[in-house]
Structure 1
Amino acid sequence: MDLPDLLHSLRRRWPIVLAGTALGTAAACTQLALATPTYDATAKLYITIAAAENGSATDLVQGGNAAEQRVRSYVDIVTTPRVLEPAIESLGLKTSAADLAEHVRADSPNDTVLLNVTVRDTSPERAAAIANAISTSFTTLVSDDLEVGKPDAVSPVSVRTVQPAVAPEDAATPQPAKSGLLGFGGGLALGLLAAVLRDLLDTRIRGRAEVESVTDRPILGVVPKSKSVQHTPVYIQGDRRGHLAEAFRSLRTNMRFVEQRGAEQVFVVTSANASEGKTTTALNLAAALIEGGSRVTVVDCDLRRPAVAGRLDLENAAGLTDVLTGRAELEDVLQQWGTTGSVLPAGPTPPNPGDLLASPAMAEVLRILSVSNDYVILDTPPLLPVTDAAILASSTAGALLVTAAGKSHTHDLRDALEVLDRVGARTIGITVSMVKPPRRRDRYEYLHTTDELTGRPGIGRGVRAAD
């Protein structure tokens, strides 16, 4: 995933990023609300070598070096029981030396003879009292025991308290600014990661890029998604200057280039699964071809779930099934559609749709229609559930495969193409339907204000739903 893809992913998944950020911030606020404040109190001790205090310059340097060396050892001694137990006893604390050691920290700034004794407690006053008690205990231990070689001898090390601990006014923890920033940053990072992972794991087709990652077949059309699909007539008539109508005109133009490669212009329009827009595409492609002056017949070959007649408010009492079973003649069931178009409805649902579509009678119907038309468009069932579309595609000029953005997955498209390849069918191209329009509206506004229509009469009564 390169930078443009990453930015596009984050823009598309911004609710996930926002949710992650909100979650992290909320967690930080909750932690701040529930946390018990603790306070740090620090006592500063100054360590010197008594023999060097009144000596020469050399003695002073040597004594300073010796004091620094001792301070590094004293850092570890401060938290030992020999220092902490007297402090516990003097204050009457109900704790052990081991437990108290977890709340005591000793350190010495580099190249100094200072020793800092810091105590953290939920009470600022108690923290200061414990730090001072530990300082006193440590001073006594060094002066009376650790640095005394003989009984009644004087320790060469002098420990002085240069800054006793005082009760702090501000809590050491929690730190609202730091916690809030960490919560916000952590939540943002979590949201960004979740958004990227969600996009990487999302195999849905959204436009050209996903289709091109699956196949090198040409993309003949990209049809934007529209809320008006439930009540808009065939787009070529209903919104003659709209971007939907222009999308199908563009598909018509590309189909005319495909015409160079075939003899009979009989095409299957299908999809991997149901409800991807194949019927809408078949009807609007036919309407665009008719608008351009071509003779077109639309055949509803979805004998299991016929939709063409219902979309156009045409009769479906008799149709393709009757012709294939010998109950009717072809010319008797063809219905006029527009000036140069006709529709062959599916007719009654037969018990054996696949057998009828693979029969010699079907081949004869297509031969007759191809002679009297410039284009014959077959609206077929989806490829993956049944074999009907594959049967027809293998005996026609090819298949136009419709895939729905946001609904179909890349593996569905790949499987559908494999079905067509397996039966030796030609995939003439792919149309991506229901594509979310870009935010920039200038191109569509241009299409709405440029009338390049010829005034040709409208065709059909309307498309009522997408399939």
Structure 2
Amino acid sequence: MDTTDVETAAGPDLRHYLSILRGYWRGIVTILVAAVLVAFVWTLTQPKIYEASSSGLVAASGATNLGLATAGDTLAKSKATSYASIASTRPVAEAVKDELGLTTSENQLLNDVSVQVPADTAEIRVSALSEDPAQAQEIANAWVQVLAEEAAQIEAGEDEASPVLVRLMPLGRAALPTAPVSPDTRLALAIGAVAGLAAGLGYALIRHHLDRRIRSVDAVNRLGQSVVGTIPADERLGADRQIVDSGNAKTRDRAAHAFAESLRELRTNLAYMDVDHPPKIMVVTSSVPGEGKSSIASNLAVAIAATGRRTVLIDADLRRPVLTDLFGLPSGAGLTDVLSGAAEIDDVLMPYANAPALELLGSGRVPPNPSELLGSNAMKSLLQELAQDAVVLIDAPPLLPVTDAAILAKSADGALVTIKAGKTTIDELEKSLQNLNKVGAHVLGTILNQVPTSGADSAQYGYYGQYYYYASSDDSASSAAGPDAPSPGAHRSTAPDSASSPAPPQPAVAAVGAPMSRRARRANSAD
């Protein structure tokens, strides 16, 4: 395997972990800050310990020439090691305790005092710890003094008249410490930061492992499904369902441009899904309520109708119909009346003024048996009749609560499953796809809805987090070019959908000028 293959194989893993960090950076930072604060508070609760150091030098006397001096130096270094061992004994601790009148035990004194001999020297360094800086200074000085006396007694032996060849001489008094050596605030904060970062990373990995919500296109692809549309979040849709005249309204809002462009891209992807046999009857559904399927179906219908293609939008959510309210059209007779034979289709289709090529078929009266009605032969015949000269979009109920959408998808060319980014779980999507597969319905793809366009989460979706458009002058030129002309700085879909590219194959008959109603066309045919 060459280097390119290795980098390609390692690349997705790195991007995966970086996406985890971006997705949970707030939690990581919170844990990091909390750990540093805990470390800081811990330093405030700990007693302040001061350290004082004193030293003594072991010297050999009687050297009259270089040879004796060298031998004396070697002897002094050897004695220094021996005296250091003596300095760590209880007799020395008892003598210091008695001299200073301390109440501290000998064992505690031995724990608070450390004795060191620097390498290749005859120096003995005594360091004493105490909560009182003055007491630390006194202990260090007294320890060296007592050690010197003990060493002198050992060297003198029983014959006090014989000369002492080696002695320990104190090298001055210890300085009064001015700053505590413990707790070490900097070290504590550094340890807290490292521990907090490690805990934060662990938290992010665990949350990511346990979080089953769909946050990226890759998560959908891993289920074997393609994402045919990525719809960014739009503030205009935040409060309630709403129709956005994408491509028609002039606006300087980048989010509005991104939303309009995403609908165009979705429209183009559907047209190029099967060039020879493009889908004409499409069911728009979701796994659970609240994922924006009705808004997607409505705005997609407006986007398709903006090209002049005759489009029929059917409200087949017979349990909770919303499309007539969404479009601001009167409710009344609709789909259920046509299926029951109480009304003719031409009498209940309602045109949408802002998109003349679009007609809406409301739900009608709520029936007691929605599933049976939607799965009837009358429904299949109606869809086939409408699809002869129109693109038919069906707003269907969610897949998991009821079976209506699965039944409709079997009668249609396929289903588009809406996913709300950061809300829909992998388990819900898998169950929805299983419901469609059980009835033999074709899944056209998924639509990732409400994708964030800013913040850390936007990086997981790549494109819309860095959406760019030119200045208002370019926006005006784009609007003048027509509803389908993309902005000059806009991201282009891999499939052409602009004025400079050939028009994609039309999934339905394209109308020239203002479209006529079905009744007017029948009258012309009769003439």
Q: Normalised by the size of structure 2, how large is the TM-score?
A: 0.76
Alpha-carbon deviation of 1:21?
A: 4.3
Alpha-carbon deviation of 1:245?
A: 2.2
Does the 8 Å CA contact 2:83/2:151 hold for their aligned counterparts? no
AA aligned to 2:260 is A
More contact order relative to length (CA 8 Å, sep ≥ 6): 1
Residue 74 of structure 2 aligns with which residue? Answer: 65
* Residue 396 (structure 2) pairs with residue 380 (structure 1): yes
In structure 2, relative to structure 1, the CA distance for the partners of 1:4 and 1:207 (3 Å cut) is closer
Whole-angstrom distance in 2 between the partners of 1:444 and 1:273? 38
* Residue 64 (structure 2) pairs with residue 47 (structure 1): no
Stretches of structure 2 that go unaligned for 5 or more consecutive residues are 1-11, 252-256, 454-463, 485-512, 516-527
Residue 228 of structure 1 aligns with which residue? Answer: 236
Whole-angstrom distance in 2 between the partners of 1:454 and 1:184? 53
Stretches of structure 1 that go unaligned for 5 or more consecutive residues are 459-467
Find 1:346's aligned residue among 341, 360, 363: 363
Whole-angstrom distance in 1 between the partners of 2:416 and 2:77? 86
Which stretch has the larger CA shift, 133-142 or 281-290? 133-142
CA shift digits 1:360-390 (9 cap, x unpaired): 332222222223x331111111222222212
Residue 448 of structure 1 aligns with which residue? Answer: 475
Which stretch has the larger CA shift, 130-139 or 67-76? 67-76
SS at match of 1:340: strand
In structure 2, relative to structure 1, the CA distance for the partners of 1:25 and 1:411 (3 Å cut) is same
CA shift digits 1:81-132 (9 cap, x unpaired): 1211111112111121112222111111111111111101111111111112
Alpha-carbon deviation of 1:214?
A: 3.2
Whole-angstrom distance in 1 between the partners of 2:279 and 2:143? 101
Find 1:336's aligned residue among 351, 367, 377: 351
In structure 2, relative to structure 1, the CA distance for the partners of 1:301 and 1:20 (3 Å cut) is same
Alpha-carbon deviation of 1:74?
A: 3.8
Alpha-carbon deviation of 1:69?
A: 3.7
Whole-angstrom distance in 2 between the partners of 1:428 and 1:440? 28
Does the 8 Å CA contact 2:272/2:278 hold for their aligned counterparts? no
Task: Give matches, 1:95-244, under 5 Å.
Answer: 95-145=104-154, 150=158, 152=160, 157-183=166-192, 187=196, 190-191=199-200, 194-195=203-204, 198-199=207-208, 201-215=210-224, 217-229=225-237, 230=239, 233-236=243-246, 239=249, 242-244=257-259
In structure 2, relative to structure 1, the CA distance for the partners of 1:59 and 1:390 (3 Å cut) is farther
Which stretch has the larger CA shift, 147-156 or 242-251? 147-156
Whole-angstrom distance in 1 between the partners of 2:246 and 2:35? 51
Does the 8 Å CA contact 1:265/1:375 hold for their aligned counterparts? yes
Alpha-carbon deviation of 1:175?
A: 4.1
Residue 436 of structure 1 aligns with which residue? Answer: 452
Which stretch has the larger CA shift, 339-348 or 68-77? 68-77
Alpha-carbon deviation of 1:392?
A: 1.9
* Residue 408 (structure 2) pairs with residue 392 (structure 1): yes
Find 1:285's aligned residue among 300, 314, 325: 300
Whole-angstrom distance in 2 between the partners of 1:73 and 1:123? 30
In structure 2, relative to structure 1, the CA distance for the partners of 1:325 and 1:160 (3 Å cut) is same
Alpha-carbon deviation of 1:226?
A: 0.8
Whole-angstrom distance in 1 between the partners of 2:198 and 2:187? 16
CA shift digits 1:210-266 (9 cap, x unpaired): 333333x33222111011114753333763663322221221111111353547721
Whole-angstrom distance in 2 between the partners of 1:409 and 1:125? 66
CA shift digits 1:48-101 (9 cap, x unpaired): 455xx4365445444433443443344343232121111111211112111222
SS at match of 1:42: strand
The percentage of aligned residue pairs carrying the same residue is 32
Residue 464 of structure 1 aligns with which residue? Answer: none
Residue 437 of structure 2 aligns with which residue? Answer: 421
In structure 2, relative to structure 1, the CA distance for the partners of 1:161 and 1:361 (3 Å cut) is same
CA shift digits 1:9-34 (9 cap, x unpaired): 54554433443443344334434444
Alpha-carbon deviation of 1:162?
A: 1.6
Does the 8 Å CA contact 1:269/1:379 hold for their aligned counterparts? yes
Residue 263 of structure 2 aligns with which residue? Answer: 248
CA RMSD of aligned residues (A): 3.2
AA aligned to 2:103 is K
Does the 8 Å CA contact 2:232/2:451 hold for their aligned counterparts? yes
In structure 2, relative to structure 1, the CA distance for the partners of 1:264 and 1:87 (3 Å cut) is closer
* Residue 326 (structure 2) pairs with residue 311 (structure 1): yes
Whole-angstrom distance in 2 between the partners of 1:349 and 1:102? 86
In structure 2, relative to structure 1, the CA distance for the partners of 1:323 and 1:73 (3 Å cut) is farther
Does the 8 Å CA contact 1:235/1:244 hold for their aligned counterparts? no
